[in-house]
Structure 1
Amino acid sequence: MRNTKTNAFRRTAAQPLSEENNRSRVDADKLLPKAKDDRVVVGFRIEEGKKRAFKEKTAREGTSIQEVLNAAVDSY
């Protein structure tokens, strides 16, 4: 004998939502910007000696390398 309760549940769950529910629902993908669209990736290499001097300079000034790089990109 078939389980009618389970089949009825499956039919109900498979039905699409009514138009009213679809209209009131907010699509977050359309509202929020994509992360990959907001970021610009810049790649470069720094020689080891210059890298060490750069780290020492930022340590003396109390800034992070990321802050200095962000300021350089903003000024560019």
Structure 2
Amino acid sequence: MRNTKTNAFRRTAAQPLSEENNRSRVDADKLLPKAKDDRVVVGFRIEEGKKRAFKEKTAREGTSIQEVLNAAVDSYLRDN
């Protein structure tokens, strides 16, 4: 006779039920349209001291690094 009081037995016994339930559930991510995100991730290297100062200044001003970099790119593109 099996020991039905252990957690391992309960997990093993419940696993087939949960797999069957998951198959019958509707996945909302597949039904809803995805928002188009045309942004790309850009990486670059910066000196550690400049990085620290940049993070501190954006924290003091209450802006995000992404906002500052986007504004800098926009300004650069307008000037050229």
User: Which bin holds the TM-score, normalised by the shorter protein?
Assistant: 0.3 to 0.5
Deviations 1:20-68 (A, max 9, x none): 9999999999999999994465442110111000000000000000000
Alignment TM-score, normalising by the size of structure 2: 0.44
Report deviation, 1:6: 46
Partners in 1 of 2:28 and 2:11 — Cα distance?
A: 28
In the alignment, structure 2 segments of 5+ residues that lack a partner are: none
The percent of aligned pairs where both chains have the same amino acid is 100
Query: Runs in 1 of length 4+ with deviation above 6 angstroms?
Result: 1-37
- Which segments of 5 or more consecutive residues in structure 1 lack a partner in the other structure? none
Bigger relative CO (Cα 8 Å, ≥ 6 apart): 1
Change (3 A) 1:2 1:32: same
**Structure exhibiting the larger radius of gyration computed from Cα positions:** 1
Kept in 1, the 8 Å contact 2:4–2:10? The answer is no
Between the aligned partners of 1:60 and 1:8, the Cα distance in structure 2 is 52
Task: Name the TM-score, length of structure 1 as normaliser.
Answer: 0.46
Q: Kindly report the root-mean-square deviation, in angstroms, between the aligned alpha carbons of the 2 structures.
A: 6.9
